[in-house]
Amino acid sequence: MSENTEDKGFKVKDRRKILQEGEEKEKTEKAAPEREEAPGRPQDSKEQTGRADSPPLPEINFSTFILSLSTSALMHLGEIPNPETNQIDKNLPLAKQTIDLIDMLKEKTEGNREQDEDNLITNLLYDLKLKYVAAIKKG
């Protein structure tokens, strides 16, 4: 039992003949040098956003996820403009669905949230539900 048990990992080889940009790959490819980076984290903002002119995205955690969902709900309530069109797009069924989704996440994560996360989700839900009721009354 003196086998070499060193983990060698695996190697991924791209066998596509044409790259996404439409240019052909060279027949003799050199392996890209490996970079050290934090697990699950891109190294620079261009990799992270896909565009050089975009600001870096915030760290993904429960609070930023809930804030993202609440921003979506506010957009559907007509409180803020759609960032792509810069127009007010009111869609109350989608707003209700997003608010219900946040409410479900609150129930499912009960007992697992930190105090600041608990305050955030409770206050956001309260505000979103009030805005939804006001939007329903307006018509």
Residue spans per domain, the chain: 62-138
Q: 24 pairs with which residues across the strands? A: 18
For the question of whether the overall pTM of this predicted structure is more than 0.75, the answer is no
Q: 18 pairs with which residues across the strands? A: 24
Is residue 125 a contact partner of residue 100, using CB atoms and an 8 Å limit?
Answer: no
For residues 61, 99, 92, 135, the Cα torsion angle rounded to the nearest 10 degrees is -110
pLDDT at residue 53 in the model: 77
pLDDT in tens, 51-95: 667 888 888 999 999 999 999 999 999 999 988 899 998 999 999
Is residue 105 a contact partner of residue 118, using CB atoms and an 8 Å limit?
Answer: no
pLDDT at residue 136 in the model: 94
Q: Which residue has the tokens 């565009």?
A: 51
Instruction: Give the whole-angstrom CA distance, residue 83 versus residue 105.
Output: 25
| CA 31 and chain centroid, separation | 31
Region 17-41 average pLDDT:
50
Region 89-108 average pLDDT:
96
pLDDT at residue 16 in the model: 64
- Whether the per-residue pLDDT at 100 is higher than 90: the answer is yes
Average pLDDT, the chain: 79
Distance between start and end Cα atoms, the chain: 76
Region 11-28 average pLDDT:
58
> Which percentage of the chain shows pLDDT scores above 70?
63
- Whether the per-residue pLDDT at 113 is higher than 50: the answer is yes
Tokens standing for residue 121: 């989700």
